[in-house]
A and B are shown apart, each in its own frame.
Chain A
């Protein structure tokens, strides 16, 4: 991290003005794209394997999803694409300038038994300097993770903000015959089932500080809150009050949780310690109060309440407990998710016989609809960089996990066909 910042600093200090133009002030997709050449990674000694293809596929998919780049046509590449070029002095920048690209990605790999080494470089074509360089040492089979990680570095180098590709998605799937908790990569690869409750598991959320997921399960015949360490598999039930123990969401520092508890009587929003003890009751109303979501500063909670007759989004200040209504349009607004940038709150609204995803600013302005295609969209959740939304799409016969940019473009399906996959949650940065 420090290294990269150092590189960035060097770039900004010593590069000429046109070079600065590469480190563009793009933070939102669609505004302007960076012309980028992505070369295939080459073997560094030894024979060629399919490692290059795996790295290539992931980099192309990630950079495409980002919406920030315009990838140059490989058919137009000249001889430098066949050179390793792991140092800026070994790159023929003139060839790349001819193609009109601002930046070029080069890389190599070496396999020694099970060991895999990948070298990856991002160069600024105009200033002819290294923007970011990484050396990855792992095992054969780690290609995808390495590529996701370098895609994040490319985004950091060119936009100043890390990409979210080397993270994970948790979701609920019925593929085993029951609703169980699953984990997959952000492009839908390598799905892994984490629970075997053979009951009903719902609504996961990642700890921002540990490799841990919380969720609700009916394993012990009541909707209780559980936590599970992802790698050890160790699981504990930590809120089992009568009635609903649902909607658990970690504060961004992991120090506290917001949850829905009904205590067998009426659903309200509470703050819990990570040990499950109640720290504070945030709402006291006879109506339904559910689906809490933290503001990034941790001082406010967006939630759903029917206190005005039908489900609408409200915001409660956790210090003053003052409640303000956020949504006024529509008769059914639900599942708010506060962007980690603080800029938006995503939610679902019942439109013409289906639910669609909307964004609204926390002050109630700027409300707009993101999805228009057929099918009900549910459970929108932001990526840790706030650039993307993951959600579940219900097309009657099948439910699947989708991802899109927060301007509604770039929509694509992530989960494999043939399942009912819902309730996605995006992890924080994974390392």
Chain B
């Protein structure tokens, strides 16, 4: 997979691959260690809020999946419980998304989603705030605002149908849908 991707040789791809594999080129090494650090921090936070150990394995593997897809699609962004501020990890993903969006010039809709805990209507507002935060950050990275629309689905469309901390973490997210 990685090799195949390398042959395509876009700037974007190089960046993505480096982030995933953690190659030893100078400026990028810093970035990858940064990513690793935030993941560590998150694990600590996660343990305090009683997330199971499986959380670690799956979240890093799903992050890898997203990384692999970055060349062809936009990365999903995760959030903490009842929060709409961007984590360091989310910011990194959005930097990739901004590069993609600027290169492709497509219009996208940013979907804000929540986990199922909490009231439906509050979660609709929370999801909207997540989508808005993502939009603002992308605009600050130079993506034209008129190419970004938002919608909140609250807790209505979970990614993973389960009542576990792991599922909830995956369901708290912003997603990107390309518009024609």
Contacts and interface: CB of A to CB of B under 8 A. Distances in A.
A311 B163 contact: no
Interface stretch (A62-70, A90-98, A232-240, A262-270): A262-270
Contacts of A422: 120
A335 B124 CA distance: 13
Interface in A202-247: 202-203, 218, 221-223, 243-244, 246-247
Contact of B126 (A202, A203, A243, A288): A288
Nearest to A265: B132
**Per DSSP, are chain A's interface residues mostly helix, strand or loop, or mixed?**
strand
B118 interface: yes
Interface residues of A, number: 38
Contacts, number: 78
A128 interface: no
Contacts of A396: 163
B119 A244 contact: no
Nearest to A268: B125
Interface string B143-180: 00000001111001100000100000000000000000
Contacts of A266: 129
A304 B120 contact: no
A262 B131 CA distance: 13
B114 to A, nearest CB: 12
B120 A288 contact: no
A304 to B, nearest CB: 6
A288 B150 contact: no
A99 interface: no
A308 to B, nearest CB: 13
A223 B119 contact: no
A422 B132 CA distance: 28
B151 A202 contact: no
Interface string B109-127: 0000000011111101110
Interface string B68-111: 00000000000000100000000000000000000000000000
A200 interface: yes
Given A244-B128, A262-B128, A288-B129, A334 B122 contact: yes
A179 interface: yes
Contact of B122 (A218, A221, A222, A290): A290
Contacts of B124: 223, 244, 246, 267, 290
A300 interface: no
A429 to B, nearest CB: 27
Contacts of B120: 202-203, 378-379, 422-423
The 8 A-B pairs of least Cβ separation, nearest first, read: A334-B119, A267-B125, A288-B125, A290-B121, A335-B119, A291-B121, A290-B125, A200-B156
24 contacts: A200-B156, A200-B157, A202-B120, A244-B128, A260-B121, A262-B128, A266-B129, A267-B124, A267-B128, A288-B125, A288-B126, A289-B125, A290-B121, A290-B124, A291-B119, A311-B82, A311-B118, A311-B122, A332-B118, A334-B119, A348-B119, A350-B117, A350-B118, A355-B117
